[in-house]
Amino acid sequence: MRSGMLAITLGCASLLGVIGFNVVERRTQTDDVEGIRQLREVLDSTRAALARATTAADSASLTEQIQGRAWGIGRREYHVPPRQERLDGWWRATGPGSIGVVVGTLLVVGGVTSLRRKGAT
């Protein structure tokens, strides 16, 4: 009885963990892409302000802001392609999502079968 319940619990944890992790990763990816888009809009606005700047102090300040924002965008963009690659392979036949679902399903089915056999005897 204990092994059946343990198998069901581990199987459900595997299923929920795989799906939950994928949801979090997809949300993070979407937020990063949207954040990069917004940062690019701000960067474009700052570049336009630099083109209109009339004093050296304004130009220096805006140039510093542009460099900082460009660095921030580059830092966020660095993580987008590898994460997208992981997400693209998540549900393939040999991907971690598919493997986790198969293992979880087998554990749940095995646990239910074990409990039914013990209940029948």
Residues of the chain with pLDDT under 70: 1, 120-121
Say if residues 78 and 97 touch (Cβ distance below 8 Å). no
Return the percentage of the chain with pLDDT > 70, whole number: 98
For the whole prediction, is pTM greater than 0.85? no
Q: What whole-number distance in Å separates Cα of residue 68 and Cα of residue 117?
A: 65
pLDDT, residue 24, reads: 95
How many Cα atoms are found within 13 Å in the side-chain-facing hemisphere of 23? 6
Angle at alpha carbon of residue 101, lines to 115 and 34, rounded to 5°:
145
pLDDT, residue 121, reads: 61
Based on the number of CB atoms within 10 Å of its own CB, is 10 exposed (0-12), middle (13-18) or buried (19 or more)?
Answer: middle
pLDDT, residue 82, reads: 93
pLDDT, residue 39, reads: 92
pLDDT, residue 57, reads: 87
pLDDT, residue 120, reads: 62
Q: What whole-number distance in Å separates Cα of residue 97 and Cα of residue 12?
A: 14
Q: What whole-number distance in Å separates Cα of residue 61 and Cα of residue 109?
A: 64
pLDDT, residue 42, reads: 92
